[in-house]
Amino acid sequence: MDKLEGKVAIITGGAGGIGKAAANTFISEGAEVIIMDLDEDSLIKTCEEIGSNRISYFVGDVTKPDDNNNIVELAKERYGGLDIFLANAGVAGDITTIEEYDEDQFDHVMAVNAKGPFLGLQSAIPAMKLRGGGSFIITSSTAGVMGTPSIAPYGMSKHAVIGLMKSAAKECASMNIRVNTVNPAPVETDMMRLLEEGMTSEDKKDVKADIESSIPLGRYAQPEEIAKLMLFLASEDSSFITGSVYMADGGSSS
């Protein structure tokens, strides 16, 4: 239970379902973890629920360069450096057609889901170089490799981070910084509850059952299942893996 002993990790979107599961998993394997999110109350609640002296939080916005820089500086000051950056913050955006999609909402989705990981890389790379390398993991989605009607900007943003990851993996290889994406199918999180609500109509009441029927394994993933894959990519078990798309989708993309 010490795959991340001596490692320092930042997790954005740390108060959400996947972020919380990843923080708990990383801590159980010996890491020091800083979680970042917009809402302080949610961050405090997450820290209290995990109940470890290895976790702390930072209130910040992934779309702001200063916030990305400041959390990396905090990791260096508090724990001595940075080894793992999980760019997990994300928003689904509106559920509507391309024709009717609001431009401001489009910009918001792209800023959080695509610009956020880019800014995270900019801040993390110098700190990881000082440690002789590191692992940068981006949460993408099955929507990063498949078409997504009614949430096109979300799908666009999740495709975009795969392109970012592939470019960064080649650029950072000489620094021993590995970059990969994790691409989940629907996960039992609050984000999925919001998506289900947005997709519900009078003639389609059980949206979750419809979605699950399209997944070969017949169910949503649990956040802990996604976190275990993230642990693999964060640890030295994946020391020769970079530039890869890791599907955690119950067979949806097969």
Mean pLDDT of the chain: 94
3-state helix, strand, coil in the chain (%, to 5): 50, 15, 35
Q: What is the reported pLDDT for 193? A: 78
Q: What is the reported pTM?
A: 0.94
Q: What is the reported pLDDT for 64? A: 98
Q: What is the reported pLDDT for 49? A: 97
Q: What is the reported pLDDT for 205? A: 58
CA distance 186 to 140: 12
- 154 given a catalytic annotation: yes
Q: Among residues 65, 123, 16, which one has the least CA distance to residue 35?
A: 16
Q: What is the 3-state secondary structure (H, E, C) of 27-93?
A: HHCCCEEEEEECCHHHHHHHHHHHCCCCEEEEECCCCCHHHHHHHHHHHHHHHCCCCEEEECCCCCC
Q: What is the reported pLDDT for 208? A: 83
Asked if residues 68 and 119 have their Cβ atoms less than 8 Å apart, the reply is yes
Q: What is the reported pLDDT for 132? A: 98
- How far is CA 159 from each of CA 76, 113, 162, 169, 238, rounded to the nearest angstrom? 31, 10, 5, 16, 23
Q: What is the reported pLDDT for 22? A: 98
- Average pLDDT rounded to a whole number, residues 187-191: 82
pLDDT, one tens digit per residue, over 172-188 is: 999 999 999 999 988 88
pLDDT at residue 97 above 60? Answer: yes
- Average pLDDT rounded to a whole number, residues 40-54: 97
Taking phi first (over 0 means left), then psi (-120 to 50 degrees means alpha), and beta for anything else, what does residue 56 get? beta
CA distance 173 to 151: 33
CATH superfamily of 8-188+223-244: NAD(P)-binding Rossmann-like Domain (3.40.50.720)
Give the whole-number percent of the chain exceeding pLDDT 90: 83
Q: What is the reported pLDDT for 201? A: 56
Residues 6+ apart with CB under 8 A from 103: none
Q: Which of 79, 101, 154, 246 is catalytic?
A: 154
pLDDT, one tens digit per residue, over 192-250 is: 777 777 666 545 458 888 788 888 899 999 999 999 999 999 999 999 999 999 999 99
Q: How many other β-carbons are positioned within 10 Å of the β-carbon of residue 171? A: 13
pLDDT tier for residue 3 given thresholds of 50, 70 and 90:
very high
Residue 176, amino acid: N
Q: What is the reported pLDDT for 200? A: 62
Q: What is the reported pLDDT for 207? A: 81
pLDDT at residue 54 above 90? Answer: yes
Question: Judging by beta carbons within 10 Å of its beta carbon (0-12, 13-18, 19+), is residue 71 exposed, middle or buried?
Answer: buried
Q: What is the reported pLDDT for 234? A: 98
pLDDT at residue 1 above 90? Answer: no
Domains of the chain, residue spans: 8-188+223-244
Asked if residues 113 and 158 have their Cβ atoms less than 8 Å apart, the reply is yes
* Biggest alpha carbon–alpha carbon distance for the chain: 57
